[in-house]
Structure 1
Amino acid sequence: MAELGGPRVYSCYNCRNQVCLHDDIISKAFQGRNGRAFLFSHAMNVEVGPKEDRQLMTGLHTVADINCADCRLVLGWKYLRAYEPSQRYKEGKFIFEKSKIVKEDW
């Protein structure tokens, strides 16, 4: 028999603060600053830093780094604006670097 559990949660690898839910993953095929990254529709317990324009692999975007609300570790970024029409689906979404988050109690 399968166990019924709560939502599958990812936490900050440094302090174990819960920051995102597995069910909110849009794609696992993204690239972060330090390797693989996941695109999420939502985030929790993070602080959004100042916005800046960055030239990323898919073009120019306005983004803001996201930090763990507890330990302040940079976990990824939030897409605020995409200048290429084909990239607009990212607006309002979050990138979490795979190396900065851990699965919690799966």
Structure 2
Amino acid sequence: MGDLIMGPRLYGCYKCRNHVAIHDDIVSKSFQSKNGRAFLFSHAQNMYSGRKEDRQMMTGLHLVADVHCADCREVLGWKYEKAYEESQKYKEGKFVLEKFKIVKQIW
């Protein structure tokens, strides 16, 4: 038998299965949302951002926008638009997706 070639491991929206992220884009699995564990992704797709707002998080004040599935419009997490503290700048432009709102698609 030949070698099995695997494609990217994908995550989808838990409601409609729209592909929203790739496992290889995970920056950190140790994030928390108000609803439990969350993952920090360097990129996400098939989503749109809501209104930007300053939000007080556990790590300080950030400018964030909720991100919605482009197909079913479910809120899946948020995008860091701006970090006000120098130590948090690495989060800018990245996405936090709540673990319970994404499902493994192709593994």
* TM-based fold match above 0.5: yes
- Name which of structure 1's ranges 34-43 and 1-10 shifts more when overlaid on structure 2: 1-10
Shift of 1:2: 5.5
* DSSP 3-state at the match of 1:87: helix
The runs of 4+ residues in structure 1 deviating greater than 6 Å are none
CA RMSD of aligned residues (A): 1.0
Matches within 5 A, 1:14-93: 14-93=15-94
Taking structure 1 as the reference length, the TM-score comes to 0.97
Separation in 1 of the partners of 2:57 and 2:18?
A: 28
Shift of 1:5: 1.5
Separation in 2 of the partners of 1:4 and 1:32?
A: 35
Amino acid at match of 2:44: A
For structure 2, list consecutive stretches of 5 or more residues without a partner in the other structure. Answer: none
Amino acid at match of 2:85: E
Shift of 1:3: 2.3
Taking structure 2 as the reference length, the TM-score comes to 0.96
- Count matched residues: 106
